[in-house]
Structure 1
Amino acid sequence: MAKAAPTTFHTFSSSNPNFQKSSIPPASSSFLKLPTTYSTKCRTQFLTKNSQSIRSPCFSPIKATPSSSSSSTASFHGLCYVVDDNIDTDQIIPAEYLTLVPSNPEEYQKLGSYALIGLPSSYQVRFIDENETKTKYSIIIAGANFGCGSSREHAPVALGAAGTKAIVAESYARIFFRNSVSTGEVYPLESEVRICEEFTTGDVATVELAESKLINHTTGKEYTLKSIGDAGPVIDAGGIFAYARQAGMIASAAS
């Protein structure tokens, strides 16, 4: 009897797409080919087109429904807190606080009180004042690769629990962007310029999502933001599960 030829499976390293080894392939290789930082184009493709290749037969791809617009009408106004490049999730919420359960209202509030507590001492102005549980800074202005490091969902949840509404960064770590969208806690927006060098902590600003515009009322300057695309309606709904319920993809909690 002829012996069947052995079957070889190939997979790709996320850091080097040309690297091959014997392994079971992932459900979708396209996600592993995304760049280190999650650009507007890539994140929109992941939420729409690429979901078609991995969805269950009983689900539809994540995309804006006819009743929802791909551009949010929300706007945010308040004080800005400015950080530099490569703010990792350990700085956003240290690992020692990951035992807090966000679904518990008391622990959710407590988690927010520790947001950005891991920043180095070079940040003389703290994100949350001593003996306070909420921040007075509703908008975070950041440099490149915001949210890098470990893939903890607690990072965007902590910022949302603290009172942050939006982050405007030069770029994001892709897992932080995904977690922000899936939890619906904060709007991760991208700027067209290196925005962290244009703002100072304490500046008063307005984010207009529908117009993809950021206004610094302290300096009088306006900036164009990259459209958040199809991720906007998911955040508007309060996260990916709330969006799926609204779109009829999964049963509502009441049924």
Structure 2
Amino acid sequence: MSGHSKWSTIKRKKAKVDAQRGKIFTRLSKEIIIAARNGGPDTAGNMRLKAAVEKARAANIPNENIQRAIQKGAGGGEGSHFEEFSYEGYGPGGVAILLYVATDNRNRTAGEVRHILSKHGGNLGETGCVSWMFKEKGVMIFDRSEAKISEDDLMLAAIEAGAEDVKVEEDSFEITTAPEDFESVRSALAEQGIPIADAEIAMVPQTNVKLQGEEAEKMIKIIDLLEDNDDVQAVYTNFVMEE
């Protein structure tokens, strides 16, 4: 994740939403198709599908588009044949990069990812070279200006709901959970009327690499280009920088 905090990253992404709405729709629709294909069309019993549908609704994807994607995945029709896998590599300064992709053309995707990395001071690595640096966690972000709750009250509510940790930033709160507790914690906080700016199961780095100057600029460029690629579903790094 780039930026001083995860909330900084989210705000930077939100600023690009209008220009990239088509790409966002494509990525989320693909995630819905895959989730429905692998776990069935019922969101009550398919947590991955439920999370994907909620993200799609938050991005204002029309309900008919969501249902069409679910039907594609569950029915095995056109568009349901995406292959999922990951890439691992390095950016400038030894930053770890972990990508999750969903594609109908592995060779095309590999070539595009390799080109992005090599052009901006990075390179692909072997399977397992950086994934050990990340742990799967549930992550929820709260905008302090909208949460309307004190730091102490949010911490108490989160811990009582089963969260592992609460990180306080200048403009946000970040709550982490074990993956299996993610849905129950999110539901508990939502029931208390605490608005959540962003929520996902993510790969969280255990250590960070701080970059400055030209190396930081190159790393930001790599992240932007990877996130713009239609086949890339998620980008995780241990890169941090000052605002």
Structure with the bigger percentage of helix? 2
TM-score range relative to shorter protein:
under 0.3
User: TM-score under structure 1 normalisation?
Assistant: 0.25
User: TM-score under structure 2 normalisation?
Assistant: 0.26
Structure with the bigger percentage of strand? 2
Structure showing greater Rg: 1
